[in-house]
Amino acid sequence: MRPIVALICCVSLSFSLNSCAEPTCPTANPWTPQAWGLIQSLALDALPAVSDASNRYLSNPQAVQLGSELFFDQRLSANGQVSCASCHQPEKFFSDGLTTAQAIETGTRNTPSLLGVAWNQWFFWDGRKDSLWSQALSPLEDPKEHNLARTAVVKLVLTDPQYQQKYQALFGASPSTAEMAAWPTDARPSGSIAQIQAWKALSAQQRTSIDTQFANLGKMIAAYVASLKPPLSRFDQYVAALKAGKSDSKLTPLELEGLRLFIDPKQQCLNCHSGPLFTNQSFHSIGTGEMGRDTGRAAILDQIRFDRFNCLGEFSDASPADCTKLQYMQRNRHQLIGAYKTPSLRNVGQTAPYFHHGKQATLADVLDHYINSSEIKAGRADLTAIVLTEAEKQALIAFLNTLNIE
């Protein structure tokens, strides 16, 4: 057994009709003070303002506008048909409903929803990126996704008169037409041999200029993605009503029973799915890793450290003191085999299928995994097998669905 982080223990969570004992408790509140404290910590209004010291444009309205245009622009792909929105579709909660993503080629991982993603500490299922802007650069060059070379991306945006004007309003000057004409269209630091050779043939100064503009495009796309906050769910409305001392419950008895189970230490959910986004921002093995195929966080520890576009890199707006999560990140490879980022559970009922591999079709299948997984039972995970009756399973699912967007 591995140590379980932030184990919540010894709190009494009984859900009864006895009114709460604290003088500050609102009337008609059926929860014990401890339970009520936990419930409030899950409400969306507990979310702080979004921040990222490495991107000074994160909350800039002009960057949000330009970023949204880039997010939906299919020209930013090898076949002219792929944009970020091909997989992160607004009408599907910025996900795609597929088992694994599909664009130029079929990928190996499930597409996460982007609502609330900016409050994460790490990005991707294995957290191989430490900021949203650095994350945005990956799909553009990924051969299975947009598959466009770095020089092509930068040239395309900065030779478009409309983009150029908006870009210059934000960043001051951009490279001149003559300067960009000297760049090959198909050069990137990783890719085919010809692409890498073309990249290496550029001078260090040219490469830095291209990387600077590339990073800036990432920062604008990130500003748009950071504006995607999940709206209030029925669960949040329930908490708000109780806080105001109102007794008209927004949740059914079955949903309330699910909430009680969710915060009960016996089910362990809150050990990992905590806070307003229902994630502790940490990496855990829950027995879903696939040896030899996908080992999760363990596989990418060096990649984050040596990433040119990380918080400590030359394109970051942060000072080293702002990059503590990178400096102090957990590096014990052995402990991180098969570990993935705890995903947000906001509107989870609307973003099937589930897990990094998309192999669980329904929330009931996810709970069955927690109950039956042989990896969990063998002690090779960060939790113990969960015991639930059929009725309890239904209640938990009902509760998870109260996090949906209406």
Binding annotation for heme c: 84, 87-88, 269, 272-273
Could you say which of 152, 225, 251, 398 contacts ligand HEC (CB under 6 A)?
Answer: 225
Report how many residues bind ligand HEC under the rule CB under 6 A.
Answer: 52
Could you say which of 147, 267, 310, 316 contacts ligand HEC (CB under 6 A)?
Answer: 267
CA distances from 31 to 27, 241, 264, 399 (A): 11, 14, 12, 16
Structure-block tokens of residue 386? 């969960």
CB 286 within 8 A of CB 382: yes
Q: Which is nearer to ligand HEC, 123 or 309 (CB)?
A: 123
- Contact status: 307 vs ligand HEC (CB under 6 A): no
Token pair 């990059």: residue? 323
CB 179 within 8 A of CB 158: no
Q: Which is nearer to ligand HEC, 4 or 25 (CB)?
A: 4
Q: How far is the CB of 116 from ligand HEC (least distance, A)?
A: 9
> Mutual orientation of helices 253-263 and 33-41 as an angle, nearest 10°?
90
Q: Which is nearer to ligand HEC, 214 or 238 (CB)?
A: 214
Q: How far is the CB of 324 from ligand HEC (least distance, A)?
A: 20
Q: Residue 169 carries which side chain, given as an amino acid letter?
A: A
- Contact status: 369 vs ligand HEC (CB under 6 A): no
CB 78 within 8 A of CB 147: yes
CB 57 within 8 A of CB 223: yes
Site string for ligand HEC, 42-71 (x = CB under 6 A): -----------------------------x
Could you say which of 198, 215, 221, 318 contacts ligand HEC (CB under 6 A)?
Answer: 221
Structure-block tokens of residue 353? 């299928």
Q: How far is the CB of 118 from ligand HEC (least distance, A)?
A: 8
Q: Residue 91 carries which side chain, given as an amino acid letter?
A: E
Structure-block tokens of residue 202? 């550029």
CA distances from 106 to 54, 111, 145, 279, 353 (A): 32, 12, 8, 28, 16
Q: Which is nearer to ligand HEC, 55 or 267 (CB)?
A: 267
Candidates 9-17, 26-34, 101-109, 187-195: pick the segment binding ligand HEC (CB under 6 A): 101-109
Could you say which of 43, 251, 366, 376 contacts ligand HEC (CB under 6 A)?
Answer: 366
Could you say which of 66, 263, 272, 323 contacts ligand HEC (CB under 6 A)?
Answer: 272
- Contact status: 135 vs ligand HEC (CB under 6 A): yes
- Contact status: 403 vs ligand HEC (CB under 6 A): no
What DSSP character marks residue 342? P
Q: How far apart are CA 67 and CA 85, in angstroms?
A: 12
How many distinct helices (H) and strands (E) make up the chain?
Answer: 17, 2
Sequence-distant (≥ 6) Cβ neighbours of residue 197 within 8 angstroms:
none
**Binding residues for ligand HEC (CB under 6 A):** 71, 82, 84, 86-88, 101, 103, 107, 109, 111-112, 114, 117, 120, 123-125, 132, 135-136, 139-140, 145-146, 221, 225, 267-269, 271-273, 284, 286, 288, 340, 342-343, 345, 348, 351, 354-356, 363, 366, 370, 382-383, 386, 396
